[in-house]
Amino acid sequence: MRPRPHVQHDIDTAIHGLLRGNSFDPRWLAEDGPYHLVLGMKEGRLVFQLGLHPHDVRWQHQCALQPLRGVIRDYFFICQQFAEGAAHANPWQIETLDMARRAVHDEGSVLLAELLHAEVLVDMPTARHLFTLICVLQLGQRREGL
């Protein structure tokens, strides 16, 4: 199933941002990048696979999604409120919802960076793009009933 247009836009923006510039420094990988990153889900856990080309896995890290679930849930709720409010809310209400959406997104990005810290260092823009992609993965699993 193809994502809705606004979700596809978020995916494209996050990937473009990661390709344009990022700071992803795996602590245990001797080779310098650029790296090929595969982000996925397995048994309710986030899976990061890193290599120097698409079929190369030099580093793999799994982390529990549980610490992010509350922030992801809040982010989805605010995004839903923002989408519903965009049609009939006044400008200051839309701005308030957008500020809340950004704040929760930042909270999730900081938490993700903290979860990865022992294995990989990421800067805030990279964490933001990765958090967006994780939310999309989670959204896809919710739709599939997993």
51-92 tens-digit pLDDT: 888 888 888 888 888 999 999 999 999 888 888 877 788 888
Across the chain, mean pLDDT equals: 85
Q: What is the pLDDT of residues 94-120, one digit of tens each?
A: 889 889 999 999 999 999 999 998 888
Range of the domain at 68: 5-144
Does a cis peptide bond (omega within 30 degrees of 0) precede residue 34? yes
User: Pairing between strand 45-51 and 59-64?
Assistant: antiparallel
Cα dist from 58 to 18, 34, 52, 97, 136, whole Å: 19, 13, 8, 41, 25
Q: What pLDDT shows up at residue 57?
A: 86
DSSP code, position 47: E
Number of domains in the chain: 1
